Structure 1
Amino acid sequence: MMSAPRFDAEARQGLAMVSPPLIYAILLLAAPLLTILAYSFFKDGYLEVIREFTLENYRAVWTDPVFHKIMLRSLGVAVAVTLATVLLAFPVAYFLSFVVKPERKALWIFLITIPFWTSYLIRVFLWKVILGHNGVINSSLTGLGLIDEPLGFLLFNVQAMVITLAHAYAPFAILPIYVALEKIDRSLLEAGRDLGESRLMTFWRVTLPLAMPGVIAATLIVFIPTIGDYVTPELIGGGKIPMIANMVQANMLALDNKPMGSALAITAMLIVTVVSLIFLFFNRRFLRVQQ
């Protein structure tokens, strides 16, 4: 009979500890999302928002060919950036986990996190300086006499956006993969080699499946913010290759159509959620086959 009051006291104490971050998360995450969701069902009265329930915004979004084109472009860029980032990050994480001496790993992690010291905007501007008409690459090639005039295809295209975004999100991909590789029991790899497996097959059958949680985390960490990136298409794309975030910004600010901008944002979030769930489904199938 004495356990119930003690349990209630522990429950109250735990609730008191959890309440501040929970309230903080609700205010900063849930409240804005619910506000955008509510706005997506309102009408645009040009001078003000009419708070009447309607599905016209979503009908307009799904029937708009411009939205279809920009959404497909955003998905394509996000997939390309994710593939490039993860494929480049995995060897770095593998080298850091299996080759670098334990006493030097902290130094390598420190070097990997150096890009976080500068603003994301500054890093994007640096790539504009590197790839620009009078940038580092063109100036170097012209100075070496390899080209007569600056190359015009280095900037303001999808390839430049992919390079910039892959560089910006590389540390986000390296660290989770490295953590997953560090958790692998090295005796499992030795057992595989003792059973006659080559290093390549040991990697494919043991290392990669055990590292997949890190790969999944890296993929989602890169894919989700990339598809909603606004700065890179504006600067590196020159505003000529808009992505879905630019379309949302145009409706929210330039056109002052908050209901339509909200409907675009919610629709994009749903599409990203579906794509992420599909990826997780196929990854589970992959792990099942490997097992």
Structure 2
Amino acid sequence: MTLATVVTAYPVAYYLAFHAGRRRNLLLFLVTLPFWTSYLLRVFAWKIVLAYNGVLNSAFIESGLWSEPTLAFLNTPAAVVVTLAHAYAPFAILPIYVALDTIPKSLLEAASDLGARPFTSFRRVVLPNSMPGVLAAALVVFVPTVGDYVTPAMVGGPASTMIGTLIQSQFGKANDWPFGAALSVCVMLVILCVVLVARGADRRFGSRT
């Protein structure tokens, strides 16, 4: 899920940093606009979109692609990924945008003067210099989503069991608090290891750039 969020956020941040022009402030405002609404409202909105009689099914039926609604959207792992990716997209876009915006334009001009094609300039100049922002975005998305249990419960259904839902069930229906506490500590240790690895990678990329 973190990978899907970062991969979809990077092109948006790239466009904001290099191609938005005068529309940059407006687009940044639109990116942060979801923060004005409740997280639960955004999740519930996706539940309406993906439901059996929801917006997506209705659109396919009206276009003539399908003759009847399908259950392939809601209560699936894909629904959880899409919902979480949308909910946490601003948290990924903004750090990547900041990293891209701080890249000196002279580096891109020098690469172009030396005969580098756009893809080569992106691979050799833009991507390495933006990696600190990518790592920050991955951490900002990974840490809260790893323990999320609301989204899987609302749009994932029984087939989408995440560690957060498992921990919640131990403190709720299962009434097994010791096992729930042990799982919580394990999640905290995993997050700590990921943070340490990301910190080491950030130092490595920082020394290269």
The aligned counterpart of 1:191 is: 110
Alpha-carbon distance in 2 for matches of 1:145, 1:211: 43
Tell me whether 1:242 sits opposite 2:182 in the alignment.
no
Deviations 1:117-144 (A, max 9, x none): 1111111111111111001111122233
Structure 1 residue ranges without an equivalent (≥5): 1-80
Aligned partner of 1:219: which letter?
A
Name the larger-Rg structure: 1
Could you say if the C-alpha distance between residues 153 and 207 of structure 1 is closer, same or farther in structure 2, counting changes exceeding 3 Å?
same
Alpha-carbon distance in 2 for matches of 1:241, 1:187: 48
2:4 aligns with one of 72, 79, 84: 84
Deviations 1:93-119 (A, max 9, x none): 111111122x43221111111111111
% same residue: 51
Deviations 1:173-212 (A, max 9, x none): 0000111111111111111111222221111111111111
Could you say if the C-alpha distance between residues 240 and 111 of structure 1 is closer, same or farther in structure 2, counting changes exceeding 3 Å?
same
The aligned counterpart of 2:151 is: 232
The aligned counterpart of 2:140 is: 221
Tell me whether 1:137 sits opposite 2:56 in the alignment.
yes
Deviations 1:247-280 (A, max 9, x none): 1111122233332211110011112322443455
Q: Report the alpha carbon displacement of residue 288 of structure 1 after superposing the two structures with TM.
A: 8.3
Q: Is the 8 A contact 1:161 1:237 kept in 2?
A: yes
2:77 aligns with one of 158, 161, 172: 158
The aligned counterpart of 1:45 is: none
Q: TM-score, normalised by structure 2?
A: 0.91
Q: Is the 8 A contact 1:205 1:290 kept in 2?
A: no
Q: Is the 8 A contact 1:84 1:166 kept in 2?
A: yes
Structure 2 residue ranges without an equivalent (≥5): none
The aligned counterpart of 1:266 is: 185
- Is 198-207 or 273-282 further displaced after alignment? 273-282
The aligned counterpart of 1:20 is: none
Aligned partner of 2:114: which letter?
L
Alpha-carbon distance in 2 for matches of 1:284, 1:154: 41
Spell out structure 1 runs of 4+ moving beyond 3 A. 275-285, 287-291
Q: Secondary structure at the match of 2:160?
A: coil
The aligned counterpart of 2:125 is: 206
Aligned partner of 1:92: which letter?
V
Kindly report which structure 2 residues correspond to 1:109-128, keeping only aligned pairs within 5 A, or say none. Answer: 109-128=28-47
Could you say if the C-alpha distance between residues 185 and 288 of structure 1 is closer, same or farther in structure 2, counting changes exceeding 3 Å?
closer
Aligned residues: 209
Alpha-carbon distance in 2 for matches of 1:288, 1:126: 40
Q: Secondary structure at the match of 1:265?
A: helix
Aligned partner of 1:235: which letter?
M
Q: Secondary structure at the match of 2:72?
A: coil
Alpha-carbon distance in 2 for matches of 1:201, 1:290: 17
Could you say if the C-alpha distance between residues 145 and 193 of structure 1 is closer, same or farther in structure 2, counting changes exceeding 3 Å?
closer
The aligned counterpart of 1:93 is: 13
Q: Is the 8 A contact 2:132 2:206 kept in 1?
A: no
2:170 aligns with one of 240, 246, 251: 251
Tell me whether 1:148 sits opposite 2:67 in the alignment.
yes
The two structures, once aligned, show a CA RMSD in angstroms of 2.0
Alpha-carbon distance in 2 for matches of 1:145, 1:99: 37
